[in-house]
Amino acid sequence: MSRNKSRKMLQHRADNENSEQQKMVAESSADARLLTKVAEIYNWLDAQICQNPDLAGVCNACGRCCDFAAFDHRLFVTTPELLYLAANLGAEKVKPMPTEQCPYNTSGKCSIYEYRFAGCRIFCCKGTPDFQNALSESALRKFKNLCEQFQISYHYIDLPTALNNSFAGKKKGPSCPLIIEEVYPGLSIPPNEGQVFVP
């Protein structure tokens, strides 16, 4: 079989899979109970940070930490957090991360601040590392418990891998979150139609 024919066959197969995944996205709805629980964890985190400003640090929103290579750190996210982001933005608006810069940092500011991940909420370059580590461990336990409660696989994955592999939208229209579909069969994220999953 020629290389060209082989490529065409692979592309045809990928196109068919993408079409099937798009149908699943359109026909399914996200589990609002799970999304409400994620919002509750985020609210809890925000409250912990507000109650402990000396330990948490005060962020001046410079956006430097969003350039992971320059700041020399990585951001990890969990399955429930990815579901929450996709449900609130709409799967078609979840961006890949082709560079070390967070794709949601626009002109130095977070364009998804309301839906930002736990790590973004917790980390502050002026904060106390011990406080941040303890808060992070508590949040991760809560996300892991959510996965057990909703019988979904728990994944703790770096942001570039999560965005580039879970939401690989290469065609026009919504894409199916591949990792999400793998760990939560049958659950797909519909395009956002003005719904915001925040209690």
Could you give the CA distance from residue 172 to residue 93 in angstroms, rounded to a whole number? 11
* pLDDT tens column, 104-159: 999 889 999 999 999 999 998 888 899 999 999 999 999 999 999 988 888 899 99
Residue 161: closest CA among 176, 174, 178: 178
Dig out the tokens for 120 from the structure: 């973004």
pTM: 0.71
pLDDT greater at residue 154 or residue 183:
154
* pLDDT tens column, 97-117: 999 999 999 988 999 999 999
Residue 42: closest CA among 115, 147, 100: 115
